[in-house]
Amino acid sequence: MGIALIIVDIQNDYFDGGKNPLHNSEKAARNARKALDFFRNKNLPVFHIQHINLQEGATFFLPNTNGNKIYNILKPMPDEKVFIKHKPNSFFQTKLHENLEKIGINKIVTCGMMSHMCIDTTVRAAKDYLYDVLVINDACTTKDLVWEDEKILAENVHKTFMASLQGTFAKIINVDELENYIK
């Protein structure tokens, strides 16, 4: 059985000048690029997820905009599949699972944006499909949230979601630890 990298929603709208910039998105993207280079150098499969927001009233990742394009340092190679999704779950109404299954993938490494939304939803769905999941902590990020009129800083949102995924749903690692888990 095999392993694959799934990069989720690292798209222009999440960066400075975009419609929904995230906390430390550049740093997370650079770490995702390290993971991408690692997988490419080992000739391991890579899958890209691109969110196109069709929801009424959506403000970012809109169709036919620069904001929905995959961020430049993570551009897919011609042999890397890109799955378009319209919901937070990368498996929902996409052919991601079928493609992973077809090439014998049982373990996935994932990273991307946002930790509290599409990463969380995708990881939990992957576990439902019985994948062994690694999440690259420092190649994910999110934004500040507000709950009961209190601002929750992005760092705390991210840590909370990584802590909630750790163990039951995934193994949480940093990009520099990848080689310890992939032979």
Tokens of 104: 């014998």
Q: Which residues pair with 83 in a beta bridge?
A: 49
Over residues 144-180, the pLDDT tens digits come to 999 999 999 999 999 999 999 999 999 999 999 999 9
Domain containing 140 equals 2-181
Closest CA to 105 of 80, 79, 132: 132
pTM for this entry: 0.96
Provide the domain count of the chain.
1
Q: Is 112 left (phi over 0), alpha (psi -120 to 50) or beta?
A: left
pLDDT score of 109: 98
Over residues 31-57, the pLDDT tens digits come to 999 999 999 999 999 999 999 999 999
Could you tell me the CATH number of the domain that includes residue 142? 3.40.50.850
